[in-house]
């Protein structure tokens, strides 16, 4: 009887609901539309279509109408007349506008007067990168992104429209959920792997990233907008039933490029004997290099390395193979849930990321979580909180200086005649000329740990005044960073001190408080106004502590309590603050004529009281021509907008306290504590400003099958915050002054073409291109009126040239009769000399910053199978091979002390040898000679990522009770093309333009799964 009652209850419940299914298609071409929202009218019961435009929904038995909505389409209300409801949706080019997040608010794309590009979160999900800014490369015109290192978690160098300053900062401002944040290299060491604070964020939690490029878009951020703004918006929940997503990826990575080949043991021996012969052949009556080798073996004057090597059978060691972590595994798992009601919505997630480096002894791990809530506390009062927490761990390397503990140096510093293992299989600790990287990776420590909590909280009150809204925000970004370095006492950097240890801790708190009023109103006749006033205060506090010691009691004891000789205890504190007042007005007349104005007054603690405040502003206008009557019925032009803007932004990104005369204190000066002048302050320091004009055209034609934009910009930076060299008689090396001007100008274009739009087949291609030309217009002058230039051995800052343009002696080849290397005395075309010191530095053309960047993209889908590909090009710049003295010298550096590259075999051997790249080898150690032979064209193209996947049809997913199932395989950096055949290192170098012995970018293949419930 109980069973019967239960069955009756089930039947009654099932009788109260019914299942509706169908397909939503485009009226233009009949293709299915994914992501369409379907809601039972008058309720929150709903779902969305899958990738094929199909849906299935359980609705109450008395439901009458379904409402279909999608951005860019006219909403449809369809009656429920059966179990199948199919809908065709029409495009709404005028009524619906793509919403662009601008940081302090959002605007429809057609209403924007500035230059902005928004990248959707779907382009960032499941990317095999530790730092989400890596995923932007090639997706935004005018934005140059390069990896400072391929070490997982490292900082990316981003330049938006070139370089705006000479010695002040050039990094863009990052804004997360409307709040300016500090993105920096959190690492405590300048010689080790750097660590980006952006690497603490999970890219799967990101809804969108908007890049703001011109003054109209960035002036709202005042003094921090000169270098562009990157606005990051995290995901939030939407009313409706709970949506659960699980994603998993697993794959493998290797170096994207192999780097230059090095000499084999036999080649190295050949060149070594040749050097002996060329240097001592006449003095010791040696008839040939072979005779020099015999003499060397008999006398043992320079050691017995090669004799012992031959006695052992001449084994060759490929040190690159030894230090490479082949097919380094990488994995990521994410679980998220979102949903809510009209009163409360939520998004929560948990993620785990793990990536081993492609070199032994390094990896990166991250645990992350997010909780975003929006709640209507009472009518017209809403509370919102967005919170992320993460813990990141980076096992790094000393990779940015001449530290032999960096395993990457083994390929270029370790001789191939030395063996990594002993006969019993143990690591050969002492047999090599330098530390064995296998031993270093096993025994030494370079650990960075970062815990980050980011909390953005706001209360919004819809005031009794209609359309007047008050919002108050309280936000905190808290970092706890710990670094530990240990060098073992047996072999390596710690053997001279019987072991060495260093610990550093850095705690940073960034607080932002905002209060704003937003007022929207309409004046009769279609005049719409949006007005915002905002007050903001930002405070940043940093506490740093470090200690080190040496003389460790035993191998394996790595903590400082085991150091017999504490050598350092140090701590310091710094803080800075910014206060701002902002006013913004946006005007629109019937969506045709747009104007906006922004003014911001900002005060910074980096300047004295008299110069603390600066005023920044912008004006912009746009004309939506397609909304004019003469184009309203056009069957070709769907959107056409002219836009122009002008504005002034600022830059105050200099070291703290530069306006003050400061004293340094030393704890040990002749046995006593002492103070001494430490900074030549300048109380007149004030804001560096950038004046930017931007004009452009945005368009869409043929039912928006072809969309794009074309634009021009010119940015002039004035009152540059410049570190000007001083006379040594002053007792100081330099002083920061407001002096000098510099400009960047260029063109940008974007184009997207839907080549094919069909029901089950789509093909689209697109691309972007950006140019930037940089020129220094004015610099400081000395008392004689002569320009003060900044010059080092390879670069120079001078008016009429790009900032830090390449400046060095010009290589003239090899003398075919003597084998001497030659240089031009005064640049190409002048007389030549074999004495490097007689060759003058001259301009080589170009700088380290690309003058042309471009991105390409392709999308194909066919019956659930899809292919996406993205490429990136950078060109017009040059890069310099920094370590050539160790690897490219025709002397003992390459064949005795370190390890030369295989290209050295193309050398002069006898009179009459013409066209060789290298001169004669000699047994000598030449000084470091920097010249144009090792300056290369930096042009390269990289196939950034290729994804092949399949979305299972609803007929299959419904059988396994899931809303969606996607499987895919993705490759990154699968192809690299380099223009200059002499550039053997990876072409993607940091903004300095020097190739380093850091880890190169990776080439990876991952397999992934996405499940939606």
d(CA 690, CA 652): 11
How confident is the chain (1013 residues) per 10-residue block, as mean pLDDT?
37 59 80 81 79 82 88 82 88 60 80 86 75 82 83 83 87 86 73 76 88 86 84 86 93 95 95 94 91 84 74 92 96 94 92 94 94 94 95 85 75 91 91 83 92 95 94 94 93 90 94 95 88 96 95 91 91 94 94 94 93 94 92 87 94 87 73 77 90 96 93 95 79 85 96 91 95 95 88 94 96 96 93 96 94 96 94 96 92 90 97 96 89 97 95 89 93 96 94 89 94 92
d(CA 905, CA 936): 20
**Continuous segment of H or E residues that includes residue 355:** strand 344-356
Same-domain status, 68 and 201: no
Evaluate whether residue 667 is within a structural domain: no
Check residue 15 and give its pLDDT.
43
The full length of the chain comes to: 1013
Check residue 669 and give its pLDDT.
64
Evaluate whether residue 855 is within a structural domain: yes
Check residue 147 and give its pLDDT.
78
Neighbours of 568 (CB within 10 A): 9
User: What CA–CA distances, in Å, run from 876 to 773, 776, 933?
Assistant: 10, 17, 18
Q: Which two tokens stand for residue 479?
A: 């970092």
Q: Parallel, antiparallel, or unpaired for β 994-995 and 878-881?
A: parallel
Eight-class DSSP state of 897: I
In which domain, by residue range, is 300 found?
Answer: 265-315+890-925
Check residue 398 and give its pLDDT.
76
Local structure of 541: helix, strand or coil? strand
Strand ranges inside 177-299, DSSP E: 179-181, 206-212, 229-234, 240-255
Neighbours of 621 (CB within 10 A): 17
C-beta of residue 299 within 8 angstroms of C-beta of residue 292:
no
Evaluate whether residue 806 is within a structural domain: no
Burial of 546 (0-12, 13-18, 19+ CB in 10 A): middle
Same-domain status, 47 and 145: no
Q: Among 518, 368, 531, 541, which Cα is nearest to 458's?
A: 518
Same-domain status, 275 and 412: no
C-beta of residue 419 within 8 angstroms of C-beta of residue 401:
no
Same-domain status, 281 and 236: no
C-beta of residue 980 within 8 angstroms of C-beta of residue 260:
no
Same-domain status, 243 and 156: yes
Evaluate whether residue 812 is within a structural domain: no
C-beta of residue 1010 within 8 angstroms of C-beta of residue 966:
yes
Contacts of 1011 by beta carbon, 8 Å cutoff, 6+ apart: 245, 246, 247, 962, 964, 965
Check residue 94 and give its pLDDT.
42
d(CA 161, CA 168): 16
d(CA 38, CA 48): 6
Same-domain status, 305 and 353: no
CATH of residue 582: 2.40.170.20
Burial of 465 (0-12, 13-18, 19+ CB in 10 A): exposed
d(CA 250, CA 83): 41
Contacts of 383 by beta carbon, 8 Å cutoff, 6+ apart: 373, 374, 375, 377, 457, 458, 459, 460
Q: Which two tokens stand for residue 357?
A: 């480096």
Same-domain status, 362 and 498: yes
Local structure of 270: helix, strand or coil? helix
Q: Among 850, 742, 651, which Cα is nearest to 169's?
A: 651
C-beta of residue 544 within 8 angstroms of C-beta of residue 572:
yes
d(CA 822, CA 603): 55
Contacts of 188 by beta carbon, 8 Å cutoff, 6+ apart: 448, 481, 483, 504, 506, 544, 546
Partner residues linked to 645 by β-bridges: 620, 694
Check residue 672 and give its pLDDT.
72
C-beta of residue 852 within 8 angstroms of C-beta of residue 877:
no
**Into how many domains does the chain fold?**
3
Evaluate whether residue 705 is within a structural domain: yes
Categorise residue 961: left if φ over 0, alpha if ψ from -120 to 50, beta otherwise.
left
- Look-up: residue for tokens 């030894």? 322
User: What CA–CA distances, in Å, run from 952 to 47, 85, 799, 968, 1009?
Assistant: 18, 22, 61, 11, 11
Eight-class DSSP state of 828: T
d(CA 376, CA 461): 10
C-beta of residue 815 within 8 angstroms of C-beta of residue 822:
yes
Evaluate whether residue 616 is within a structural domain: no
CATH of residue 48: 2.60.40.1120
Same-domain status, 872 and 896: no
C-beta of residue 101 within 8 angstroms of C-beta of residue 108:
no
Same-domain status, 877 and 894: no
d(CA 585, CA 653): 28
d(CA 365, CA 352): 8
Evaluate whether residue 112 is within a structural domain: no
Q: Which two tokens stand for residue 893?
A: 């550096």
Categorise residue 12: left if φ over 0, alpha if ψ from -120 to 50, beta otherwise.
alpha
Same-domain status, 33 and 175: no
Evaluate whether residue 477 is within a structural domain: yes
Same-domain status, 460 and 530: yes
Question: What is the chain's alpha carbon radius of gyration, rounded to the nearest angstrom?
Answer: 32
Check residue 9 and give its pLDDT.
39
Query: Half-sphere exposure of residue 632, counting CA atoms within 13 Å on the CB side?
Result: 8
Same-domain status, 374 and 234: yes
Check residue 51 and give its pLDDT.
67
Partner residues linked to 372 by β-bridges: 347, 386
């Amino acid at each position: 009887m109980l069973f019967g009652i239960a069955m009756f209850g089930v039947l009654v419940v099932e009788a109260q609901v019914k299942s509706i299914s169908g397909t939503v298609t485009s009226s233009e071409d009949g293709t299915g539309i994914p992501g369409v929202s379907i809601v039972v009218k008058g309720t929150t019961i709903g779902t969305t279509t899958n990738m094929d435009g199909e849906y299935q929904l359980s609705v109450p038995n008395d439901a009458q109408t379904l409402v279909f909505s999608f951005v860019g389409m006219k909403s449809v209300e369809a009656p429920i007349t059966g179990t199948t409801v199919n809908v065709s949706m029409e495009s709404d080019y005028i009524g619906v506008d793509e919403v662009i997040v601008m940081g302090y608010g959002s605007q429809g794309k057609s209403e924007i007067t500035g230059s902005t590009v928004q990248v959707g979160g779907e382009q960032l999900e499941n990317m095999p990168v530790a730092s989400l800014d890596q995923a932007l490369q090639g997706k935004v015109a005018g934005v140059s992104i390069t990896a400072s290192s391929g070490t997982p978690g490292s900082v990316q160098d981003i330049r938006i429209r070139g370089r705006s300053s000479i010695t002040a900062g050039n990094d863009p401002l990052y804004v997360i959920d409307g709040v300016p944040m500090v993105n920096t290299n959190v690492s405590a060491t300048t010689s080790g792997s750097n660590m980006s604070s952006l690497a603490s964020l999970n890219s799967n939690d990101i809804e969108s990233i908007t890049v703001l490029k011109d003054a109209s878009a960035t002036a709202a951020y005042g003094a921090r907008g000169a270098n562009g703004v990157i606005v990051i918006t995290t995901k939030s929940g939407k009313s409706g039933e709970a949506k659960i997503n699980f994603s998993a990826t697993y794959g493998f990575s290797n170096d994207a490029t192999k780097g230059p080949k090095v000499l084999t043991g036999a080649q190295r021996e050949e060149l070594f004997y040749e050097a002996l012969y060329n240097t001592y052949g006449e003095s010791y009556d040696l008839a040939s290099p072979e005779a020099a080798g015999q003499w060397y073996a008999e006398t043992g004057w320079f050691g017995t390395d090669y004799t012992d090597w031959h006695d052992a059978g001449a084994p060759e060691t490929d040190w690159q193979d030894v230090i490479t972590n082949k097919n380094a595994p990488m994995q990521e798992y994410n679980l998220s849930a979102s949903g809510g009601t009209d009163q409360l919505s939520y998004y929560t997630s948990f993620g785990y990321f793990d990536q081993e480096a492609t070199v032994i002894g390094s990896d990166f791990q991250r645990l992350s979580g997010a909780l975003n809530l929006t709640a209507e506390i009472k009518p017209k009062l809403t509370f919102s909180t967005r919170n992320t927490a993460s813990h990141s761990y980076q096992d790094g390397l000393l990779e940015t200086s001449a530290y032999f503990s960096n395993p990457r140096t083994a390929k270029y510093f370790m001789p191939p005649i030395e063996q990594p293992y002993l006969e019993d299989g143990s690591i050969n600790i002492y047999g090599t000329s330098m530390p064995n990287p296998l031993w270093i990776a096993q025994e030494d420590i370079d650990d960075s740990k970062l815990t980050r909590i980011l909390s953005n909280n706001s209360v919004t009150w819809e005031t009794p005044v209609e359309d007047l809204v008050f919002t108050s925000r309280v936000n905190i970004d808290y970092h706890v960073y710990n670094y530990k370095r240990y060098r073992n006492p047996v072999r390596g950097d710690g053997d001279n001190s019987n072991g060495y240890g260093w610990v550093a801790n850095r705690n940073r708190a960034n607080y932002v408080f905002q209060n704003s009023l937003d007022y929207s109103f309409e004046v009769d006749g279609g005049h719409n106004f949006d007005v915002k006033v905002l007050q903001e205060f930002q405070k940043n506090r940093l506490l740093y502590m470090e200690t080190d010691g040496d003389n460790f009691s035993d191998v394996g004891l790595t903590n400082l309590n085991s150091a017999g000789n504490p050598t350092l205890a140090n701590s310091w504190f710094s803080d800075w603050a910014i206060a701002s007042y902002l006013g913004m007005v946006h005007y629109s007349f019937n969506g045709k004529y747009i104007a906006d104005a922004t003014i911001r007054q900002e005060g910074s603690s980096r300047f004295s009281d008299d110069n603390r405040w600066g005023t920044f502003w912008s004006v912009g206008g746009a004309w939506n021509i397609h909304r004019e009557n003469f184009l309203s019925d056009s069957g070709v032009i769907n959107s056409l907008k002219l836009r122009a803007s002008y504005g002034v932004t600022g830059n105050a990104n200099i070291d703290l306290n530069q306006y003050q005369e400061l004293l340094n204190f030393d704890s040990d000066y002749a046995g006593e504590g002492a103070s001494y002048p430490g900074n030549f302050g300048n109380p007149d320091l004030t804001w560096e400003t950038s004046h930017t004009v931007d004009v452009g055209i945005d368009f869409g034609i043929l039912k928006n099958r072809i969309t794009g934009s074309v634009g021009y910009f010119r940015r002039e930076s004035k009152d540059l915050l410049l570190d000007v060299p001083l006379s040594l008689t002053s007792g100081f090396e330099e002083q920061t002054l407001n002096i000098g001007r510099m400009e960047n100008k260029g063109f940008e274009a974007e184009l997207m073409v839907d080549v094919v739009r069909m029901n089950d087949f789509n093909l689209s291609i697109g691309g972007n291109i950006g140019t930037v030309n940089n020129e220094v217009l004015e610099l400081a002058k000395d008392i004689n009126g002569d320009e003060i230039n900044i010059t080092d051995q390879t670069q120079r800052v001078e008016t009429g040239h790009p900032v830090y343009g390449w400046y060095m002696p010009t290589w003239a080849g090899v003398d075919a009769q003597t084998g001497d290397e030659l240089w031009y005395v005064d640049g190409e075309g002048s007389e030549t000399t074999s004495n490097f010191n007689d060759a003058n530095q001259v301009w080589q053309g170009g700088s380290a910053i690309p003058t042309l960047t471009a991105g390409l993209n392709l999308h194909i889908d066919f019956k659930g199978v899809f292919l996406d590909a993205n490429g990136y090009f950078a060109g017009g710049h040059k890069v310099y091979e920094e370590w050539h003295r160790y690897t490219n010298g025709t002397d003992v550096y390459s064949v005795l002390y370190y390890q030369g590259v295989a290209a050295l075999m193309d050398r002069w051997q006898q009179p009459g040898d013409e066209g060789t790249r290298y001169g004669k080898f000699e047994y000598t150690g030449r000084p470091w000679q920097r010249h144009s032979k090792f300056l290369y064209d930096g042009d390269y193209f990289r196939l950034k990522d290729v994804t092949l996947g399949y979305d299972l049809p609803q007929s299959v997913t419904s059988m396994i009770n899931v809303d969606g199932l996607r499987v895919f395989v993705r490759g990154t950096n699968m192809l690299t093309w380099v223009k200059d055949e002499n550039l053997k290192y990876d072409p993607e170098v940091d903004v300095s333009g020097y190739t380093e012995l850091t880890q190169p970018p990776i080439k990876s293949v991952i397999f992934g799964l996405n499940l939606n419930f």
